[in-house]
Amino acid sequence: MTDWKRVLRAIAPKGKSWIINGVADAMPQMIQIAKLTTLLRQAQFLAQCAHESDGFQTTKEYASGAAYEGRADIGNTQRGDGVRFKGRGIIQNTGRGSAKKPLSGYNLVSAALGVDFVSKPELLEKFPYAALAAAVFWTSKRLNAAADRDDVNEVTRLVNGGYNGLAQRKAYLKAAKRALAAPQPKAAPSEEQVTAQDLRKTGSRTMAGTDQIKKNLATGVGTVVLSGGADYLTRAADATQTASNAAQNASDIAAHVQNIHEATKSAPTMFVVVLGWVRDHPGVMVGVNIALAIVLAYCVWRIFNGVGHVERAKVDDVNAELAGGE
């Protein structure tokens, strides 16, 4: 998520806070209105706005506007239109404009935003209108085509009607590109963003109002936490039971080994030593007991297997003697 305040400060460090904040807050909506869907378009747009607003320091033209009096080309056909409809907004929308298609000037912005700026032109100095009017103007001039070509000269001509301040516009463009390309600081997702993510995951396409969403989110989070906690406790209990069973099994194995030790005095010396060690260390760790039990069980199996062979050999000898006697 772009930190627009940081970007705007990087472009125009001396910008006034209330203008920086107003532009930053309106950026998501301006991106939608003007289709500023690439970094290049955003950079070109912000560079022109920065210049027209004197580095984000004003939302109205410093001059009185008297120079626009009688300018029919920008719709100033009534006495006083020059001053009344002087440049306002961060891109300095100027002139009464045409009230017929194609709309232009203040008439265009009024129709696009649903606010009568012709009757109340001062509203264009305030946010969010000061920002949104720039996006409307950008769209009306089809400036994205030139922006996509990174043609700052053409963008400037379409915005300004000439090339006034071209060098400064280029400097702002360079700063905007640099600011937008810089890594954005990571911020914790807001409650509304988390809600949107949850809705997308569940496939929901409805929004039941902010209060209901917050309630649903809180309930959902609580359910997840409780469910996760219960699952964790169940797993912990299973692990504890498994460890307990292993310890009991190890203890039983040790007892059996002790009995086997008593019954196999003639076992090899190493086997006897191992059995004695196990017998003298009843507090050995469960894991070691289990490992020793496996080894000892294997040894016992080998011993019993050997004894079985001996017994079978004795039986064979007896049978042979009996056969010889006959």
> Is the same domain home to 153 and 18?
yes
In a domain, 203, yes or no: no
Which structural domain range is residue 309 located in? 243-325
Domain's final residue, options 183, 217, 251? 183
> Is the same domain home to 160 and 256?
no
Model pTM score: 0.58
pLDDT at 226: 36
CB-based contacts of 70, cutoff 8 Å, min separation 6: 76, 81, 82
Domain's final residue, options 164, 183, 202? 183
> Is the same domain home to 12 and 152?
yes
Domain's final residue, options 159, 183, 207? 183
pLDDT at 13: 98
> Is the same domain home to 173 and 84?
yes
Q: What is the CATH number of the domain that holds 25?
A: 1.10.530.10
> Is the same domain home to 251 and 119?
no
Asked if 59 and 130 touch (Cβ cutoff 8 Å), the reply is yes
Beta strands in 160-246 (DSSP E): none
Structural domains of the chain, count = 2
In a domain, 209, yes or no: no
Per-residue tens of pLDDT for the chain, all 326 residues:
899 999 999 999 999 999 999 999 999 999 999 999 999 999 999 999 999 999 999 999 999 999 999 999 999 999 999 999 999 999 999 999 999 989 999 999 999 999 999 999 999 999 999 999 999 999 999 999 999 999 999 999 999 999 999 999 999 999 999 999 977 666 555 555 544 554 454 444 334 333 433 343 343 333 333 334 444 444 544 544 555 555 565 556 555 556 555 555 544 555 555 556 556 665 555 666 677 778 777 776 666 665 455 455 554 554 555 455 44
In a domain, 38, yes or no: yes
Burial 123-149 (b: 16+ CB within 10 A, else e): bbbebebbbbbbbbbbbbeebbebbee
> Is the same domain home to 148 and 8?
yes
Measuring CA to CA, which residue among 214, 218, 169 is closest to residue 43?
A: 169
Query: How many other CB atoms sit within 10 Å of the CB of residue 82?
Result: 22
**Bridge partners of 164?**
none
In a domain, 109, yes or no: yes
> Is the same domain home to 133 and 252?
no
pLDDT at 296: 76
CA distance from start to end of the chain: 102
pLDDT at 295: 73
In a domain, 177, yes or no: yes
In a domain, 284, yes or no: yes
